[in-house]
Amino acid sequence: MSTTVENLKDPKQARTSQLEQLKKFTVVVADTGDFATLKQYAPRDATTNPSLILKAAEMQEYQWLMDKAIADNKKSNASAGELPGLIMDDLLVLFGMEILKIVPGRVSTETDANRSFDTEGLVAKAKKFIGLYEKNGIGRERVLIKIASTWEGIRAAEMLQREGINCNLTLLFSFAQAVACAEAKVKLISPFVGRIMDWYKKSTGKDFAPAEDPGVKSVHEIYAYYKKFGYGTEIMGASFRNVGEILELAGCDLLTISPHLLGELTAGTAPVVRKLSPEMARDYKIERVSLDEKKFRWMYNENAMAVEKTAEGLRLFNADAMKLAQHIADKLK
């Protein structure tokens, strides 16, 4: 009996979603605080930030978490001024704990943006978060503490890593920040692909094809540098604007993706080709860099996009943290 080429094709393979194909090369992380989304797309890890938690906390189905955080802290002897901050910390951890019941891997919990230039303050807040998780039976290996990629934030992460507290360095827009994080032996970095592209699109008035996207090219450079020189820091592309950016980074260690784009990847069935690999990195033309504080600050300062987007990101995260604090204060009334 003759067998045609068509008969040899696997019909299931033809229908495999782009999300499932991507998962063969890259750890998929969900960028959300919504439990239903996590159950739907089955990522390994999940990331949160003040903006995502604020959005979730305002949804009726998560009101019980807010009620629990308020009730637990009302039992303390905290002053009226201290109470909203304590409740917010508990709320972030409560969301993290519920997320860890769904995902098999890790959750990222973010430190206060207004501490981003305070090394000691960041270390203290990170230890508080880890203490709250461990008090509730969650091992520190399942938690990533998110810290902004300022010089002070990187130094805080370096100290925390020595104590076995893993960190996710966020708001990362430049090669200087990436190199400093690797030298500090940070567990993971989150380069913000879409926000980099936003800046270049606004400053040039141009649209960029995915392969020429400045955010995509930034992650390619960081990935190649880390793999070529043997750094153990994981790279998690973040802040995507379209599926094209994601597919150009297939093969990156991790990618954290919004629910909307997870939906697009689930609906798509076009072939996904691996773009990043350790083998590719070996032939990448790049020199090794060593940074002390002076070199870091100058190299970072020379990147106007990174300076502007880091500052903007800190302001936005802090604004949403303040909105969350006000939301808590209103509940207390």
Single out the catalytic residue among 125, 146, 187, 309: 146
Distance CA 234, CA 187 (A): 6
Q: Is 146 a catalytic residue?
A: yes
Catalytic residues: 146
